[in-house]
């Protein structure tokens, strides 16, 4: 299901977790819940929920995060919060300077994983955690910080103008190692208001902080945004030296350089001994070998020199099972038999791939905490991942370099937040210098709706941004759709212009394809079938290959 981010929802989700006052203003949909049951729980109406969440229908899915109170009135109700709407030309740095704060502070206040901002985005630029109406209450003077990926004690201490030793003392920390989600008190009153713990006079040497690479690969640069020194593989362990404005200075083997904090996952213990590296997705098997028929027609026989089973056309692609002498045992469609090896070539000859040097980023929609559309035990995130990995293998067989934006169980970022996670996918297309970006999704609606539809961004803009390569995006969407849609064999709902986030924010030709509807078994039964998955994925790969033939 596509996520068309409407401004109010996105901005609210980013600022919602700031203080405990907000704690009950969002609700994660549990299995079996309906919009009505959620409305009863929070004593609001179904229509209010639909309005606050920009819902087009009253269907919700497990894991969906809903605003359960008016986002606008909540924001205005918090004293001490000052907000700013991002204007054209702004950077997080220029905003930080204008408000006499730091990029780090703004990212922390707005729970941002990258320093990217977009026009119209609402940012909290200052926040006072002490409630002026009840200044003596101990609870209001307690400032709790939740550790996020990339944080170090040093970076937190800088943000809150305290020392590393302060934080270690207030939280009884034995080492400076942190873990994502850890709650830290950032002043002494929360621990012992009457007798503050004295600051140690002889600080112990902080132990080392480690992280693992939580992306398919991660560039190590000589400075933030500088040139690439080396590329670190997924799961690689690095030592964090310091953190600055969304970048970590890290030590990786004999290299020292800078890497984006978005793709580094902190490990729990200081010495790394109990660390659990991100599971590495096994590479697809490439043991299947293929060959192409070079003769104008080639007899397939029951055995070497046996009787003819069928005749293979020139250029036919066959799977080679085994060879014996000058004969090859091959599979072609539903036929299996023997052909003369003299008329087979591993080079496709007449039907060349257009893959020379081409890089494709495949984006399986949703992932991790975001299941996408759900029907019973079927999750969109699992179906899109299965299709993406199969398409990857078909493309690699044609010689393409292919990257997938996430692992089987994870989201794009180590810690999921909707908008930054979508930006992470867009960033990967740019980082890998991709020639095409294909986002794979499964649609959902009330049962009855079926069919396949695809999107590109060429005409419509939103929040001032549009795809940087609109005409090629349109060709990509139309070509890929024309190849995979017949394989799905459902209603053809067409190819449309859309300002979806991963399309409009992309710097490379991009399409988002909705394979079919998870909410109707006529489509779902096909999408969970292995043969259909293979044919659809092969169609996606062939469509991408045909696109490059058109634009080369
Ligand atoms: Zn989706």
More confident residue, 480 or 156: 480
Tell me, in angstroms, the distance from the centre of ligand 1 to residue 442's CA. 5
Asked if 350 contacts 314 with a C-beta cutoff of 8 angstroms, the reply is yes
CA distance 92 to 118: 10
Give the pair of three-digit tokens for residue 64: 């969906």
More confident residue, 147 or 365: 365
Kindly state the average pLDDT of the residues 512-525.
Answer: 96
Query: Which pLDDT score is estimated for 348?
Result: 57
Q: Residue 302: pLDDT above 50?
A: yes
More confident residue, 247 or 432: 432
Tell me, in angstroms, the distance from the centre of ligand 1 to residue 3's CA. 6
Query: Which pLDDT score is estimated for 337?
Result: 92
Q: In 284-434, which ranges are continuous DSSP H helix?
A: 380-397, 418-431
Tell me, in angstroms, the distance from the centre of ligand 1 to residue 532's CA. 19
- Work out the angle at residue 314's Cα, subtended by the Cα atoms of residues 309 and 317, and round it to the nearest 5 degrees: 75
Q: Which of 128, 9, 134 is nearest to 70 (CA)?
A: 9
Kindly state the average pLDDT of the residues 239-261.
Answer: 82
Q: Which of 409, 332, 388, 387 is nearest to 530 (CA)?
A: 387
The dihedrals phi and psi of 231, each to the nearest 5 degrees, come to -115, 130
pLDDT band at 483 (very low <50, low <70, confident <90, very high): very high
Tell me, in angstroms, the distance from the centre of ligand 1 to residue 540's CA. 17
Q: Where are the beta strands (DSSP E) in 370-483?
A: 374-375, 378-379, 401-404, 436-443, 452-456
H or E segment and range at residue 484:
helix 470-488
Tell me, in angstroms, the distance from the centre of ligand 1 to residue 371's CA. 9
More confident residue, 396 or 204: 396
More confident residue, 403 or 293: 403
Query: Which pLDDT score is estimated for 205?
Result: 39
CA distance 474 to 547: 10
First to last CA, the chain: 32
Query: Which pLDDT score is estimated for 207?
Result: 59
Q: Residue 298: pLDDT above 50?
A: yes
Q: Residue 201: pLDDT above 80?
A: no
More confident residue, 520 or 109: 520
Q: Residue 318: pLDDT above 80?
A: yes
3-state secondary structure 60-79: CCCCCEEECCCHHHHHHHCC
Tell me, in angstroms, the distance from the centre of ligand 1 to residue 547's CA. 23
Name the CA dihedral angle for 538, 396, 545, 432, rounded to a multiple of 10 degrees. Answer: 120
To the nearest 10 degrees (0 to 180), the angle between helices 530-551 and 380-397 is: 50
**What are 74-123's pLDDT values in tens digits?**
333 333 567 777 776 777 777 777 777 777 788 888 777 777 777 667 77
ipTM field: 0.99
Instruction: Note the residue count of the chain.
Output: 552
pLDDT band at 288 (very low <50, low <70, confident <90, very high): low
Tell me, in angstroms, the distance from the centre of ligand 1 to residue 527's CA. 14
Strands 436-443 and 359-364: parallel
Q: Average the pLDDT over each of 99-108, 204-213, 294-303 and give the range with the smallest value.
A: 204-213
Q: Which of 178-182, 194-198, 548-552 has the highest mean pLDDT?
A: 548-552
Tell me, in angstroms, the distance from the centre of ligand 1 to residue 447's CA. 17
Q: Residue 285: pLDDT above 50?
A: no
Q: Which of 110, 80, 79 is nearest to 96 (CA)?
A: 110
More confident residue, 450 or 123: 450
Tell me, in angstroms, the distance from the centre of ligand 1 to residue 438's CA. 13
pLDDT band at 135 (very low <50, low <70, confident <90, very high): very low
Asked if 67 contacts 14 with a C-beta cutoff of 8 angstroms, the reply is no
**What are 348-391's pLDDT values in tens digits?**
543 456 777 799 999 999 999 999 999 999 999 999 999 999 99
Tell me, in angstroms, the distance from the centre of ligand 1 to residue 53's CA. 17
Tell me, in angstroms, the distance from the centre of ligand 1 to residue 514's CA. 8
Tell me, in angstroms, the distance from the centre of ligand 1 to residue 439's CA. 9
- How far does CA 133 lie from the centroid of its chain? 42
Query: Which pLDDT score is estimated for 540?
Result: 97
Tell me, in angstroms, the distance from the centre of ligand 1 to residue 26's CA. 21
Tell me, in angstroms, the distance from the centre of ligand 1 to residue 142's CA. 40
Please provide the average confidence, as pLDDT, over all residues in the chain.
78
CA distance 216 to 513: 22
Asked if 308 contacts 358 with a C-beta cutoff of 8 angstroms, the reply is no
Tell me, in angstroms, the distance from the centre of ligand 1 to residue 362's CA. 14
Cβ neighbors of 406 (< 8 A, separation 6 or more) are: 363, 364, 367, 368, 385, 412, 425
Query: Which pLDDT score is estimated for 347?
Result: 63
Q: In 137-238, which ranges are continuous DSSP H helix?
A: 153-159, 164-170
Q: Which residues pair with 82 in a beta bridge?
A: 126
Cβ neighbors of 525 (< 8 A, separation 6 or more) are: none
Tell me, in angstroms, the distance from the centre of ligand 1 to residue 379's CA. 10
pLDDT band at 3 (very low <50, low <70, confident <90, very high): low
Q: Residue 254: pLDDT above 90?
A: no
Tell me, in angstroms, the distance from the centre of ligand 1 to residue 446's CA. 15
**What are 407-425's pLDDT values in tens digits?**
999 999 999 999 999 999 9
Tell me, in angstroms, the distance from the centre of ligand 1 to residue 55's CA. 15
Tell me, in angstroms, the distance from the centre of ligand 1 to residue 512's CA. 9
Residue 525, Cβ density class (10 Å: 0-12 exposed, 13-18 middle, ≥19 buried): exposed
Provide the 10 A C-beta neighbour count for residue 82: 12
CA distance 356 to 345: 19
The dihedrals phi and psi of 184, each to the nearest 5 degrees, come to -120, 135
More confident residue, 551 or 162: 551
Q: Residue 510: pLDDT above 50?
A: yes
Asked if 450 contacts 516 with a C-beta cutoff of 8 angstroms, the reply is yes
Q: Which of 371, 365, 489 is nearest to 437 (CA)?
A: 365
Query: Which pLDDT score is estimated for 166?
Result: 79
H or E segment and range at residue 545:
helix 530-551
Asked if 154 contacts 241 with a C-beta cutoff of 8 angstroms, the reply is no
Tell me, in angstroms, the distance from the centre of ligand 1 to residue 125's CA. 32
Q: Which residue has the tokens 């989201």?
A: 411
Structural domains in the chain, sorted by start: 7-98+119-127 (3.10.350.10), 142-191+206-275 (2.30.30.40), 295-345 (2.30.30.40), 359-551 (3.40.630.40)
More confident residue, 148 or 496: 496
**What are 451-469's pLDDT values in tens digits?**
999 999 999 888 899 999 9
């Amino acid at each position: 299901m596509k996520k068309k981010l409407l401004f109010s929802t996105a901005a609210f989700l980013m600022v919602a977790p700031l203080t405990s006052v907000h704690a009950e203003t969002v609700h994660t949909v549990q299995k079996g819940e309906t919009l009505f049951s959620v409305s009863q729980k929070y004593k609001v109406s179904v229509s209010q929920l639909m309005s606050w969440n920009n819902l087009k229908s009253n269907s919700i899915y497990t894991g969906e995060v809903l605003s359960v109170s008016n986002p606008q009135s909540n924001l205005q109700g918090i004293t001490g919060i000052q907000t700013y709407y991002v204007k054209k030309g702004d950077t997080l740095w220029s905003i930080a300077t204008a408000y006499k704060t730091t990029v780090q502070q703004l990212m922390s206040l707005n729970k941002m994983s990258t320093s990217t901002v977009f026009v119209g985005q609402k940012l909290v630029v200052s926040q006072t955690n002490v409630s002026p109406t009840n200044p003596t209450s101990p609870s209001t003077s307690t400032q709790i910080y939740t550790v996020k990926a990339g944080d170090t004690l040093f970076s937190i201490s800088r943000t809150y103008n305290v020392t590393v030793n302060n934080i270690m003392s207030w939280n009884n920390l034995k080492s400076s190692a942190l873990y994502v989600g850890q709650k830290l008190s950032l002043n002494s009153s929360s621990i012992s208001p009457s007798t503050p713990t004295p600051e140690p006079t002889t600080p112990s040497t902080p132990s080392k902080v480690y992280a693992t690479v939580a992306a398919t690969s991660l560039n190590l640069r000589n400075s933030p945004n500088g040139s690439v020194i080396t590329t670190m593989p997924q799961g690689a362990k690095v030592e964090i030296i310091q953190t600055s404005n969304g970048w970590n200075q890290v030590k990786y083997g004999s290299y020292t350089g800078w890497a984006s904090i978005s793709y580094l996952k902190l490990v729990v213990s200081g010495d790394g001994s109990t660390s659990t590296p991100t599971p590495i997705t096994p590479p697809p098997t490439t043991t299947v070998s293929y060959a192409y028929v070079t003769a104008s027609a080639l007899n397939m026989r029951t055995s070497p020199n046996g009787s003819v089973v069928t005749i293979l056309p020139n250029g036919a692609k066959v799977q080679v099972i085994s060879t014996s002498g000058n004969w090859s045992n091959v599979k072609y469609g539903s036929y299996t038999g023997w052909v003369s090896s003299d008329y087979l070539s591993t080079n496709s000859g007449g039907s060349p791939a257009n893959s020379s040097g081409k890089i494709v980023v495949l984006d399986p929609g949703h992932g991790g905490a975001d299941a996408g559309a759900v029907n019973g035990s079927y999750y969109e995130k699992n179906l899109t991942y299965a299709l993406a990995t199969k398409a990857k293998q078909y493309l690699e067989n044609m010689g393409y370099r292919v990257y997938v934006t996430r692992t089987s169980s994870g989201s794009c970022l180590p810690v999921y937040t909707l908008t930054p996670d979508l930006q992470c996918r867009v960033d990967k297309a740019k980082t890998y210098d991709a020639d095409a970006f294909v986002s794979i999704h499964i649609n959902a609606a009330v049962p009855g709706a079926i069919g396949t539809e695809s999107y590109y961004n060429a005409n419509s803009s939103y929040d001032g941004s549009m795809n940087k390569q609109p005409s090629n995006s349109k060709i990509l969407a139309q070509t890929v759709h024309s190849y995979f849609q017949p394989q799905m064999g459902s209603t053809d709902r067409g190819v449309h212009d859309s300002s979806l986030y991963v399309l409009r924010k992309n710097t490379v030709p991009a399409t988002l394809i909705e394979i079919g509807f998870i909410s109707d078994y006529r489509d779902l039964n096909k999408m969970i079938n292995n043969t259909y998955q293979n044919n659809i994925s092969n169609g996606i790969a062939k469509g991408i290959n045909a696109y490059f033939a058109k634009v080369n």
